[in-house]
């Protein structure tokens, strides 16, 4: 087993109540409910802790328990009966009427009663797993009902957790932020991007921080370019109608830029929220925004062949299921180093990976020899959880002959250990309970993401012929033009 160093203690947050709106939906069933249960089962949820599940669907106690059992069963290993029974003791269901002040008054009374029962001091998280259109009215009603405490006023607190999409354009993102801002201060808004909760993503910064050999060369003097790959084997599988209004760029840009930020940001002075956010913001501020005229040359959009014709897809749909693009980070560390991104659905294999590709040697014994890129530092995020480093070494034998070699580090937890560690959603819920916003997205990041994305979306809408939607065969890694994007620069996807 690996020797552990540093801050290895898992801190158990102080007691709180967790209110889940939209508890009957897909996100709740697949992610939030299993994470709440997992935290309790692993013994890292607060000691004083309760959960209020809320939805418009009427559910009596047996129906609620059956739903919970089904959701937990689908999420992996069926829960152990004793752990499930203990979890149920902490859970209540409240039927919601999100437009009615009476509902919020009833909720307030229930929370007071549950605070008293579980020994919680008015510390509450409200997770809005509802359609985004409900964020504004629900947060406003919570405020009116006096359920969103200002932490300056008392030792109690309330936090709002929401999921992407954070708007569908720059204008709607700004509008959503200002309406949330009227309900709660920014410091109480927790915006989830579940990529940031992944061990493998956090490991990128851990490796960079702890190993000077890497970060010392993590700059334009040594690095030729960076590649970010987020490919999915599956297509939309019944979610086409939702995707028609979204497209891959809107759906994935937050994940892509979070991976870029963790790779390219300067190391923070500490891992505390404020230092981390300061450096992350500096990265986002350094992102070069595309000029509309540059879009055709910097981005390729595609759609897999079988997408059109699926139920819910408009004839001649322009929804992209694939995107490749190049961007630059205008700071001293990365100036003129290209970052290439490809992300897509139904591409034949699932692979989320970051590759830092080092420059070729300019001269010396290799001057005349084409050895390709000698060093590639590659982080497998999912499904492979590994770190690989490519080196050129001597091939065994009598002649001076060189061969490519891989050094690999399997980052999967030791079998048996995995069940003890928080999953990505468990980690994020735990951090929200602890009041640590390090892994959550700030409004600055969201706004900058839309400023980056808007020129692409505008160009595709206003000048579709200049940046055509390319069809790619199902099961292939995107249209040929995505390979061409790198080839024009004398590079290939690694």
Ligand X SMILES: NC(=O)c1ccc[n+]([C@@H]2O[C@H](COP(=O)([O-])OP(=O)(O)OC[C@H]3O[C@@H](n4cnc5c(N)ncnc54)[C@H](OP(=O)(O)O)[C@@H]3O)[C@@H](O)[C@H]2O)c1
Residues that bind ligand X in the complex, under the rule CB under 6 A: 22, 24-28, 30, 55-57, 96, 98, 129-132, 134, 163-165
- In contact, 276 and 440? CB cutoff 8 Å: no
Supply the DSSP string of 324-381, one letter for each residue: EEEE-B-STTTTT--EEEEEESSSSS-EEEEEEEEPPP-SGGGTTS----S-EEEEEE
Token duo for residue 7: 């801050």
Nearer to ligand X, 141 or 342 (CB): 141
Nearer to ligand X, 30 or 360 (CB): 30
CB of 136 to ligand X, least distance (A): 11
Set 245, 255, 272, 395: catalytic member: 255
- Helices 33-41 & 424-434, crossing angle to 10 degrees? 80
Nearer to ligand X, 66 or 403 (CB): 66
Active site residue 272: no
Nearer to ligand X, 327 or 443 (CB): 443
CB of 225 to ligand X, least distance (A): 30
CB of 142 to ligand X, least distance (A): 13
Minimal CB distance to ligand X: which residue? 25
What distance in Å separates the CA atoms of residue 424 and residue 427, rounded to the nearest whole number? 5
Token duo for residue 95: 């039927």
Q: Is 270 helix (H, G, I), strand (E, B) or coil?
A: coil
Supply the DSSP string of 93-152, one letter for each residue: EEE--TT-HHHHHHHHHHHHHHHHHHT--SEEEEEE-S-GGGHHHHHHHHHHTT-S--TT
Contacts of 55 (CB under 8 A, 6+ apart): 21, 22, 23, 24, 25, 93, 95, 96
What distance in Å separates the CA atoms of residue 367 and residue 433, rounded to the nearest whole number? 56
Nearer to ligand X, 383 or 408 (CB): 383
CB of 434 to ligand X, least distance (A): 22
- In contact, 29 and 66? CB cutoff 8 Å: no
CB of 93 to ligand X, least distance (A): 10
What distance in Å separates the CA atoms of residue 171 and residue 119, rounded to the nearest whole number? 43
SS3 content of the chain, % helix, strand, coil (to 5): 40, 20, 40
What distance in Å separates the CA atoms of residue 126 and residue 52, rounded to the nearest whole number? 9
Residue with tokens 């079988």: 306
Nearer to ligand X, 195 or 327 (CB): 195
Nearer to ligand X, 81 or 131 (CB): 131
- DSSP state for residue 33 in the 8-state scheme: H
- DSSP state for residue 451 in the 8-state scheme: H
What distance in Å separates the CA atoms of residue 250 and residue 264, rounded to the nearest whole number? 22
CB of 288 to ligand X, least distance (A): 28
Residue with tokens 């259109």: 133
What distance in Å separates the CA atoms of residue 101 and residue 92, rounded to the nearest whole number? 20
CB of 96 to ligand X, least distance (A): 6
Nearer to ligand X, 350 or 420 (CB): 350
- In contact, 260 and 248? CB cutoff 8 Å: no
What distance in Å separates the CA atoms of residue 347 and residue 478, rounded to the nearest whole number? 6
CB of 430 to ligand X, least distance (A): 19
Residues identified as active-site: 255
């Amino acid at each position: 087993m690996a020797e552990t160093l540093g801050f290895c203690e898992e801190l158990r947050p102080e007691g709180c109540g967790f209110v889940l709106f939209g508890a009957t939906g897909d996100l709740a069933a697949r992610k939030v409910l299993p994470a709440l249960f997992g935290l309790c089962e692993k013994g890292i949820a607060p000691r004083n802790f309760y959960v209020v599940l809320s939805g418009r669907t009427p559910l009596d106690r047996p129906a609620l328990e059956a739903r919970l059992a089904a959701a937990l069963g689908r999420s992996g290993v069926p829960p152990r009966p004793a752990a499930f029974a203990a979890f149920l003791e902490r859970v209540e269901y409240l039927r919601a009427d999100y437009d009615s002040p009476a509902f919020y008054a009833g909720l307030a009374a229930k929370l007071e009663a549950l605070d008293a029962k579980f020994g919680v001091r008015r510390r509450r998280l409200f997770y809005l797993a509802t359609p985004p259109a409900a964020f504004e009215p629900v947060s406003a009603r919570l405020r009116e009902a006096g359920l969103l405490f200002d932490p300056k006023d008392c030792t109690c607190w309330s936090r709002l957790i929401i999921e992407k999409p954070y708007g569908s354009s720059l204008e709607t993102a700004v509008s959503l932020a200002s309406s949330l801002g009227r309900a709660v201060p920014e410091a109480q808004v927790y915006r989830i991007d579940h990529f940031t909760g992944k061990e493998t993503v956090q490991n990128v910064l851990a490796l960079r921080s702890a190993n000077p050999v890497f970060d010392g060369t993590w700059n334009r003097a040594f690095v030729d370019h960076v590649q970010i790959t987020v490919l999915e084997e599956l297509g939309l599988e019944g979610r086409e109608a939702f995707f028609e209004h979204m497209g891959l760029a809107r759906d994935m840009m937050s994940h892509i830029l979070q991976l870029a930020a963790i790779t390219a940001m300067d190391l923070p002075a500490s891992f505390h929220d404020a230092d981390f956010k300061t450096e992350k913001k500096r990265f986002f501020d350094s992102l070069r925004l595309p000029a509309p005229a540059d879009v055709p040359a910097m981005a390729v959009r595609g759609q897999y062949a079988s997408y059109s014709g699926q139920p819910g897809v408009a004839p001649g749909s322009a929804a992209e299921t694939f995107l490749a693009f190049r961007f630059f980070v205008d700071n001293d560390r990365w100036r003129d180093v290209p970052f290439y991104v490809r992300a897509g659905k139904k591409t034949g294999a699932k692979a989320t990976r970051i590759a830092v590709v080092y420059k070729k040697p300019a001269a010396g014994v290799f001057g005349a020899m084409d050895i390709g890129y000698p060093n590639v530092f590659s982080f497998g995020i999912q499904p492979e959880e590994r770190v690989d480093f490519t080196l050129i070494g001597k091939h065994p034998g009598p002649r001076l002959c060189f061969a490519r070699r891989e050094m690999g580090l399997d980052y999967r937890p030791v079998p048996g250990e995995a069940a003890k560690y928080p999953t990505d959603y468990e980690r994020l819920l735990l951090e929200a309970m602890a009041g640590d916003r390090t892994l959550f997205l700030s409004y600055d990041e969201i706004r900058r993401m839309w400023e980056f994305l808007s020129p692409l979306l505008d160009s595709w809408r206003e000048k579709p012929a200049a940046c055509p939607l390319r069809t790619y065969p199902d099961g292939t890694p995107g249209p040929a033009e995505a390979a061409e994007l790198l080839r024009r620069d004398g590079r290939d996807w690694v």
